[in-house]
Amino acid sequence: MHPINIFKTFLFFLPFSAHAYVDSTSASAGGTDFSIPQRSKPGTWSCTDSTVCHSLGDCTEQEFGYRAGYLCRGWPWYNGEYPLLPAASSSSSDRENVCYENVASECTSWTKFKVGETSFSRGYCKCDVFKDQFCQSWTCTELEVTTCASGRIDCGSLIQAAYEVEYYPGCANPNSGYVNDHGTFIPPDCHPKQIKFETMACACKSSHLQTGYNHTSNVCDEWECSKFGSSDTHDVEYLYYKCDDYDSENSYCKTYHYDKDSISVFLNGQCMCSENLYFCRKWTCHQTQWNKHAPNLTYIALGAVFGLPTLYYALGFLCIRFPSLRDNWRVWWDFCRGVILLLLYFVCLYVTVLGGGIGSFLIAASITAGPHVCVGCIALTKTHLCRIPNFLSPRFPFPRKRHVQTAQLHIPTATSIIVDPSDVCDVEVPKLVRRGTSRR
């Protein structure tokens, strides 16, 4: 973790600071009309803002907090762990498009190849609506296969899949094989790869008319796609593309950036053309991916388990009385222990709000402080229920021994005062006389 983030963590004590109050209109002012729906990670009080962080290098730390779900435009405003932002995952890939059919200089069907650091894919695309001399919507199907990590090898039988894709179904550790007691070599465990068959539907959102290569046609400037897999149609990925630069003839796009958003992650990327012929055939792309955030409600248990006994004993020590200079060191020591425990209680709540957000903080504070507030309110009413139980004493459960002086019976002597019988409710008592006097 960077030292600057550690320093900002201690400064970010109040979640209701300027970080959590930014006008959404100013955050998206001057940006692109981004039509990706607002989809947050599943969880209580999750949120996201898809109107910010659309391209690489154009995303501040605060905008990233809103996009990833650490900060919210409304309740609960703060979901914890900000500004402790996670590190981004960057990757590169090479993409290639090969045209199969075309109308004039416009391609109507093509194959696509992609080779990345952790996977490779191959698919087929076909234009669905060809109008005004350019493709306005198209559909792609592709097969994506993960690659083996460093230090692992392919295992299993070679599979011939769709779109002329060949791959091995699993990965294995080459050092995990062994020879058993019968002298037979046992091959390493083959862990299956992740295979995904995906469908993507795209449509052009804006275009411009261009003249070049002895013809006139339209070129798509912005396009959007929806991508989903055959096994999971619920977590749909929405992609947004925008062309940044064109060739000298203004006939095709040679640099574009894109943004992908799903329930669990979002990423920004940029692609540059490396080989072209009437259209770009090969692309080199770089992208950065982040995981979306949901509040961690387990911090409620942390605040309740540690905060409840801490506040209980802190109030027990502080409720004795405020010490004075004439008190001995034991009274001052009990008061200091109460102050220390009260500070530890606030530290516990600080960790709860920093890790779990404002929602976790309010629940933990209600659990810990609620019973003490109720007991205090009952005590202030001065009714027969206002007696605070003895277990609130800071010496509970080991009370100190109290030295109680027992009353001693004083037997009167002969020199005592003579009791008048009339003062004892007509009860006859013997009359005491002085020594040396004779009874008559």
Which tokens sit at 149? 């990590």
pLDDT at 409 over 60: no
Taking the CB of residue 297, how many other CB atoms lie within 10 A of it? 17
pLDDT at 125 over 90: yes
Which tokens sit at 309? 């006994």
> Distance (Å, rounded) from C-alpha 41 to C-alpha 30?
27
| Range in 37-46, 110-119, 123-132, 258-267 the model is least confident about | 37-46
Tell whether 402 is covered by a domain.
no
> Distance (Å, rounded) from C-alpha 439 to C-alpha 288?
120
| Average pLDDT rounded to a whole number, residues 267-294 | 85
Taking the CB of residue 68, how many other CB atoms lie within 10 A of it? 25
Tell whether 426 is covered by a domain.
no
Whether residue 213 is found in the same domain as residue 278: yes
Tell whether 409 is covered by a domain.
no
Tell whether 411 is covered by a domain.
no
Whether residue 166 is found in the same domain as residue 240: yes
Task: Please compute Rg for the chain using Cα positions.
Answer: 40
Tell whether 432 is covered by a domain.
no
- Encode pLDDT of 371-394 as tens digits: 877 766 665 555 444 344 444 455
* Spatial CB neighbours of 322, under 8 Å, sequence gap ≥ 6: 335
Most confident range, picked from 31-40, 275-284, 384-393: 275-284
Q: At which of 350, 376, 392 does a domain end?
A: 392
| Average pLDDT rounded to a whole number, residues 253-278 | 86
Whether residue 283 is found in the same domain as residue 325: no
Of the chain, the percentage scoring pLDDT greater than 70 comes to: 69
Bridge partners (DSSP) of residue 125 are 110, 140
Q: At which of 38, 68, 98 does a domain end?
A: 68
How high is the mean pLDDT of the chain?
75
pLDDT at 290 over 70: yes
> Distance (Å, rounded) from C-alpha 15 to C-alpha 358?
7
pLDDT at 250 over 70: no
Whether residue 165 is found in the same domain as residue 280: yes
Q: At which of 360, 377, 392 does a domain end?
A: 392
pLDDT attached to residue 420:
54
pLDDT attached to residue 377:
64
Q: How many domains does the chain have?
A: 3
pLDDT at 331 over 60: yes
Whether residue 25 is found in the same domain as residue 140: no
Tell whether 303 is covered by a domain.
yes
Tell whether 150 is covered by a domain.
yes
Tell whether 232 is covered by a domain.
yes
pLDDT at 235 over 60: yes
Residue with tokens 């209109």: 25
> Distance (Å, rounded) from C-alpha 13 to C-alpha 78?
12
pLDDT attached to residue 18:
32
pLDDT at 13 over 70: no
What is the band of 234 on the pLDDT scale with cuts at 50, 70, 90? Answer: low
Most confident range, picked from 55-59, 132-136, 379-383, 405-409: 132-136
What is the band of 213 on the pLDDT scale with cuts at 50, 70, 90? Answer: low
Residue with tokens 């080459």: 174
pLDDT attached to residue 384:
45
- Encode pLDDT of 152-206 as tens digits: 888 888 888 777 788 888 898 888 777 777 777 677 788 889 888 889 999 999 8
- Encode pLDDT of 62-117 as tens digits: 888 888 889 998 888 999 888 776 667 788 888 888 888 887 777 889 999 999 88
pLDDT attached to residue 241:
93
> Distance (Å, rounded) from C-alpha 122 to C-alpha 118?
14
pLDDT at 338 over 90: no
Whether residue 194 is found in the same domain as residue 250: yes
Whether residue 149 is found in the same domain as residue 185: yes
Work out the angle between the directed axes of helices 329-380 and 299-318 (0-180°, nearest 10): 110
DSSP letter for each residue of 355-372 = HHHHHHHHHHHHHHHHHH
| Range in 46-50, 216-220, 338-342 the model is least confident about | 216-220
Three-class DSSP labels, 125-193: EEEEEEECCEEEEEEEEEEEEECCCCCCEEECCCEECHHHCEECCEEECCCCCEECCCCCEECCCCEEC
Whether residue 115 is found in the same domain as residue 239: yes
Which alpha helices (H) appear in 235-328, and where do they start and end? Answer: 299-318
pLDDT at 287 over 70: yes
205 or 22: which leads in pLDDT: 205
pLDDT attached to residue 376:
65
> Distance (Å, rounded) from C-alpha 86 to C-alpha 67?
13
Q: How many CA atoms lie within 13 A of 128 on its CB side?
A: 10
- Encode pLDDT of 356-373 as tens digits: 999 999 999 888 888 877
pLDDT at 8 over 90: no
Q: How many CA atoms lie within 13 A of 415 on its CB side?
A: 0
Whether residue 242 is found in the same domain as residue 357: no
Taking the CB of residue 420, how many other CB atoms lie within 10 A of it? 9
Backbone angles phi and psi of 369, in degrees to 5: -90, -20
pLDDT attached to residue 216:
66
Whether residue 146 is found in the same domain as residue 196: yes
What is the band of 215 on the pLDDT scale with cuts at 50, 70, 90? Answer: low
| Range in 5-19, 184-198, 212-226, 415-429 the model is least confident about | 5-19
> Distance (Å, rounded) from C-alpha 168 to C-alpha 180?
26
pLDDT at 401 over 90: no
Whether residue 159 is found in the same domain as residue 217: yes
Whether residue 22 is found in the same domain as residue 95: no
* Residue range of the domain that includes 385: 299-392
Bridge partners (DSSP) of residue 172 are 153
